[in-house]
Amino acid sequence: MVHAMKPTRVQRTAALEKWAERVAPSDLVEADIGVLRTIAETAQRRDSLDTQLAQDVSSARTQQRL
């Protein structure tokens, strides 16, 4: 299933692409990927919760609970 990206995500993606085009390799530094991994995992859990919440609300509406 393909989900449409939220406008803020589209905007963030565009900004990241612009930045990637103009950044100099010498400006890049090594990142602590452990922290980034934690952020990515949290974001993934949030996306899963958002999806599950939307499905649950839809199901409740179908069952006329809302």
Asked whether the predicted pLDDT for residue 1 surpasses 90, the reply is no
For the segment 27-53, the average pLDDT, to the nearest whole number, is: 93
Q: How distant, in Å, are the alpha carbons of 4, 44, 49, 59 from that of 56?
A: 19, 18, 10, 5
Greater confidence (8 vs 41) lies with 41
15 in a domain, yes or no?
A: no
Asked whether the predicted pLDDT for residue 54 surpasses 90, the reply is yes
Count of structural domains, the chain: 1
Distance of alpha carbon 62 from the chain centroid: 28
Asked whether the predicted pLDDT for residue 23 surpasses 60, the reply is yes
- Range of the structural domain that residue 61 is part of: 32-66
User: Which residues, other chains included, contact 5 with Cβ-Cβ below 8 Å and sequence gap of 6+?
Assistant: 13
- Yes or no: say if 60 and 66 are a contact pair by the CB < 8 Å rule: yes
54 in a domain, yes or no?
A: yes
Closest Cα to residue 5, out of 47, 42, 38, 37?
Answer: 47
